[in-house]
Amino acid sequence: MGSIFTFSILQSALELGCIYSLVALALFISFSILNIADLSTDGCFTLGCSVGAVVTIAGHPFLAFPAAMAAGVCSGFITAFLQTRMGVPSILAGIIVNTGLYTVNIAVMGFSSSVNLFGCDTLFGLAKDLSGAAWYGGWYKIVIVAAIVLIIGVILSWFLNTRLGLSIRATGDNEYMVRASSINPVFTITVGLCVANALTALSGAILAQYQKSCDINLGTGMVTIALASLIIGETIIGKGGMFKRVVGVILGSCLYRFIVAVALRMSVPAECLKLVSALIVAFAISFPYLKGKASFYRARRMPAGIGGGDGDDEC
């Protein structure tokens, strides 16, 4: 087994884990906190990627990130607008926006299904030239993405404890309380989805510069992958304060990438990866439920008086 856990696998799992953790954080906001399944994530990720790529090609490697985030905010705003002002059910709103984004993404890339960034200045390329130290050559990518994720994580956990952040959290937690306590759910849902989609798009833009290309199908299945990371993170960290949970989501994303890397190493064909992630998500979500079931059956099998149940009073 020793050969599976090589250094380079760990390294690339960390790099990709950090990049994709921003999408997991976006779902943390929309799915865990606002209790909304935002299915526009796939399209929004590609949107961030394509906007980031195009701006980078135009010679602005740094401007690419705010530009991608702005595009993400627009996408999130439209999703929120549909569900809060137009009466579209939230899942449908996400699907509609996702469908529309396909055309938008192709248009952004100049009506082509992919672009590449070879020969362009990227954040990674510029950072590589900063130092000539021997260790730096292998680590600069991790240093950059980890720094970005750390900054985003700190800002996000700070934000979620401000008045606005608390209002957003209450919106997904108790609708009656929200109605009785001067929180405008239209506003909090809109802000929440805008922030979430900005993070998704930022993740896409970083990936564009990381792999120096952008493809129209890049985002397919992104919502499942991010959900897997999110649930792995919440399972290993458990309950706690906002910062702890944010860190958990980032760890979950890295762990997910590591699992995928190991799967690849064990010669699982790359085409099967989506199926692997679907299985991980299905297992991770059903795990707490199955655990509860298992303890029920264990209790029932015990002799009366020890387990407390006699088996007749189920459900």
Partner 1 sequence: MLTLKKISKTFNPGTVNEKKALDRVSLELADGDFATIVGSNGAGKSTLFNAITGAFYVDEGQIILAGENITYVKEHVRSKVIGHLFQDPLKGTAPHMTIEENMALAYLRASTAAHAYFSRINGREKQMFREQLALLNMGLEDRMKQPVGLLSGGQRQALTLLMATMVTPRILLLDEHTAALDPATAEKVLALTRRIVAERRITCLMVTHNMHQALELGNRTLMMDGGNIVLDIQGEERENMTVDALLQKFRDQAGRQLDVDRILLSE
Chain centroid to Cα 235, Å, comes to 16
Indicate the DSSP class of residue 270: G
Stretch that binds partner 1, among 147-155, 173-181, 211-219, 250-258 (CB under 8 A): 173-181
CA-based nearest residue to 148, from 199, 88, 95: 199
Interface stretch with partner 1, choices 52-60, 114-122, 138-146, 181-189 (CB under 8 A): 181-189
- Our CB check for partner 1 shows the closer of 179 and 265 to be 179
- Using the minimum distance from each CB to partner 1, give the nearer residue, 4 or 151: 151
Does 170 sit near partner 1 (CB under 8 A)? yes
* Residue 119 neighbours by CB distance under 10 Å: 8
Q: Hey, how many other C-beta atoms are within 10 angstroms of the C-beta on 212?
A: 18
Please report where in the chains the tokens 């399972």 appear, as a residue.
235
Interaction residues for partner 1, span 124-153 (CB under 8 A): none
Contacts of 105 (CB under 8 A, 6+ apart): 43, 46, 47, 50, 216
182 binds partner 1 (CB under 8 A): yes
Q: Which residue's CB is nearer to partner 1, number 131 or number 174?
A: 174
Comparison of 9 and 164: residue with beta carbon closer to partner 1: 164
233-262: which residues touch partner 1 (CB under 8 A)? 239
Query: Phi, psi at residue 87, to the nearest 5°?
Result: 70, 20
Work out whether 179 is an interface residue with partner 1 (CB under 8 A): yes
HSE-CB of 304 using CA atoms within 13 angstroms: 4
What is d(CA 299, CA 106) in angstroms, rounded to the nearest whole number?
A: 57
Cα gap 90→229, rounded to integer Å: 22
Q: Does 180 bind partner 1 (CB under 8 A)?
A: yes
Cβ neighbours of residue 10 closer than 8 Å, sequence gap 6 or more: 258
When asked if residue 181 is in the footprint of partner 1 (CB under 8 A), the reply is yes
The two structure tokens encoding residue 220 = 């397919």
From 50-58, 155-163, 269-277, 284-292, span contacting partner 1 (CB under 8 A): 155-163
Residue from 1, 3, 24 nearest 257 by CA: 24
The site string for partner 1 over 193-232 (x = CB under 8 A, - otherwise) reads ----------------------------------------
155 near partner 1, judged by CB under 8 A: no
**Of the candidate residues 6, 99, 131, 161, the single one contacting partner 1 (CB under 8 A):** 161
Closest approach, Cβ 68 to partner 1, in A, equals: 24
The span from the first CA to the last CA of the chain, in angstroms, equals 45
SS3 131: coil
Shortest Å distance, C-beta 128 to partner 1: 36
Q: Which stretch binds partner 1 (CB under 8 A): 87-95, 166-174, 210-218, 296-304?
A: 166-174
Binding site for partner 1 (CB under 8 A): 159, 161-164, 166-167, 169-170, 173-174, 176-177, 179-185, 239
